[in-house]
Structures are given as structure tokens and as C-alpha cells.
Amino acid sequence: MKKWIIIAVVVVVVVVAAIGYQKTRKQEIPDVRIVAVEKGEITKAVVATGEIRPLAVAEVKSKIGGVVRRFYVEEGEKVTRGQNLAEIVPTATPEELVYARERVETARYQRELSERKFKRLEKLSGKGLVSDEEIDVAETQLSIDAARYDAALAELRVLEQGSGSGTTGAGETRSSQTASALSDMIIASPISGIVLSRNVDEGSSVIAMSSAYGGTSLMTLADVSRMHFEGDVDESDVAKIEAGMPAKVFVDAYPDTTFEGVLTRIAPQGLKQEGVVNFKVEAELSGESTIMKTGMSADVQLVLDSREDVLTLPEGAIIYEGDSTFVETVDAGADGGKTRVPVEVGLSDGIKTEILDGIDEGTEVVLQ
């Protein structure tokens, strides 16, 4: 009899121990699934992805065709508006030079002929032998022939610069047309900034910029006194943003630095690529933006709302059921080691959520 009593007692002890062990197992929650409520900052923002661009970019071209004789600046060098950048000399064949000299001589002869005629008519006019109308016609023709001579001479001077010859009469006075044509050989900087790139080498042939041809790009300049961001925003977010919003700029090259800026432009029309519609946006940067380089990859946070020194939890700890929100707090005495508690939530950035009421700082909560 005693033997059976002992066996029964042992069985009861084993059962009680097993139940206790099972309860203990239910209360065990992996540490990786436990987070604590803590104070922090939450920023709700729209993110745009793009790159850093200078305030202005200028592509430098030549008004005349020819060959690059020399560059006065190198890539990366700072330039000021009006500074000489390059010299272009026109190319001419021997036949073209001969033809140009012939045009000069013909134009000179015609100008001298018109000048003698005008002087004769002036003398006759003083005697009343010719009308004022004849004088006006002769004077007009003299002006036309003089302009043609100046144009022909200007063309020859420019061609001679390119060929290295200089056979034009030494006594000739340089006309305004000649001076203008020669000045076109010197390419001046249209803006102040830096030389981003030199697109041709010395000795390269270039095509003149005209209405029919785009012309050869000699170099690219950029005004980097102020940098700005150019990027894309998804169509689902474009209605949330507006010009003038503060922007936080993050550049891969400076991972520990946040640059400040302001959203300045939102494109009125979206661009569809691979079935996704994006809108172009631009943000002007302030502060130390000049340390950034053109073309750097960047992300911009367009701040919609922000909270500082508030209670926060990871979004993965929040349980949403209809209009109600809950969290599961760690409770060793409860079934499963956790207790569901209703909470009131506020701002969320998709990663962290603000806790307005229901639990306190330091409370341990189970991630879902």
C-alpha cells in the first residue's frame, strides 16, 4: 500500500513540475523581439532621390569656325565673367585667301570710284549744275561701297590670322568690322564659376554656332557659388509637398553631415518611365553646400511634420485593429509572458511611431 502511495506522490510531483516547466516556456520571449519605449525625434518626410547640380551651367561655343589655337584655362580652374577662355583661328585654303584678297581689291577700287564721283558732284553742286537728289544718291552709294570694303577687309584679316600670313597693306586702318571679327576669335567666359570640362583639345576643328548648327562645344562652365538638388518624387507623394518647404539633404560623400535647403520647384508635369510616374523637383542648398561636387548622388527629405523629445516605439511593435491600436508589453506573470495594452499613437515616419498615451518610458514591448 505504501508503495502505491509513494508512486502516486512521485507522479503528482512530475505532473506539477511539467506544468510549471510549460508555464516557464510560455513566458520566455527572445530578447531580439523586445524593445523599450524611449524618447526621441520623429520626422515625417517625403524622400526625393537625385543629384547635386550647380546653380547655372553654360556650354561655351564659338561664333566662328576654325581651329583651337590655344586654351587659356584648365579643367577645375576658377574663371570670372569676361575672362579669356580660348582662341579660335579660322582655317582657309590658299585659293580662299586669293579670292578674299581679290574681293578686298575690288571693293577698294569700287569705294575709291564712288569717292571720286561724290567729290566731283559736290564741286558741281556748288555751281548749281547738279541736284541735291544726285548728291544724296552718290553719298549713299559711297557709304555702301565703303561698308563692303570694310567687310571684305575684315574677312581677309581674320583668314590671314588663321593662315599665319599678313599681306594686307600695312597702311590700312583697322575698321570696326575688322576689330569685331578679330575679337570673335577670342572666346570669353559668359559667367563666373569653374571649368567643369574641356570638350576638345588644342588643334581641334570646331564648327561655328549658328541658327542651322548647334556648333562645337568647347567647354562647360558652372556657377558653383550656390549648389542645388535635382531629383524625383513619386506621384503618390507629390500632392503632399509645396515650394518653400524645408529640405534636409544627405550626400553619400558626407555621411555624417546633413545639409539644409528649401524646395524651390515642383515640375507641373510628371514623367513616366517603366510604368512609374515621377515629378522633377529642385531644392536650393544653403550653408556649406559649396564643398559638394557636381553630380554627387543625394537624397532629400522634404519635411512634412516633426516631433522632438517624444515617446517612440518601432512601427513593428504597434498592433492596428480597426480604429484601435495596441502593444504587447512584457509581463512574466501573464499567459505567454506578455499583456496586450491599448495605446494612443501620434506621428509616424514609417519606422518609428510616436506614443501619446497608454505606456511610459522604459516599458518593454514585444515586436510583432
CB 191 within 8 A of CB 223: yes
Domain 60-90+182-222 in this protein, CATH class: mainly beta
Domain 46-53+224-306 in this protein, CATH class: mainly beta
- Residues 168-224 pLDDT 10s: 444 454 455 555 556 667 889 999 999 999 999 988 888 888 766 778 899 999 988
CB 85 within 8 A of CB 187: yes
What does the pLDDT average to over 63-80?
A: 88
Lowest mean pLDDT among 4-13, 25-34, 137-146, 317-326: 4-13
What does the pLDDT average to over 222-246?
A: 90
Among 269, 267, 293, residue whose Cα is nearest residue 280: 267
Domain boundaries, the chain: 26-42+308-366, 46-53+224-306, 60-90+182-222, 94-162
Same fold, 26-42+308-366 and 94-162: no
How high is the pLDDT of residue 67? Answer: 85
Pick among 3.90.1140.10, 3.40.50.880, 2.40.10.10, 2.40.420.20: CATH of 26-42+308-366: 2.40.420.20
Among 158, 167, 151, 152, residue whose Cα is nearest residue 65: 158
Q: What is the CATH number of domain 94-162?
A: 1.10.287
How high is the pLDDT of residue 168? Answer: 47
- Residues 276-317 pLDDT 10s: 999 999 998 887 667 888 889 999 989 888 889 999 999 999
How high is the pLDDT of residue 72? Answer: 93
How high is the pLDDT of residue 281? Answer: 94
d(CA 151, CA 12): 121
d(CA 163, CA 57): 34
DSSP letter assigned to residue 192 = S
Q: Using only C-alpha atoms, what is the Rg of the chain? A: 41
User: What pTM was estimated for this model as a whole?
Assistant: 0.55
**Phi and psi, residue 286, nearest 5°:** -125, 180
- Residues 152-162 pLDDT 10s: 887 777 666 65
What does the pLDDT average to over 5-20?
A: 51
Helices within the chain (DSSP H only): 2-27, 94-126, 132-163, 176-183
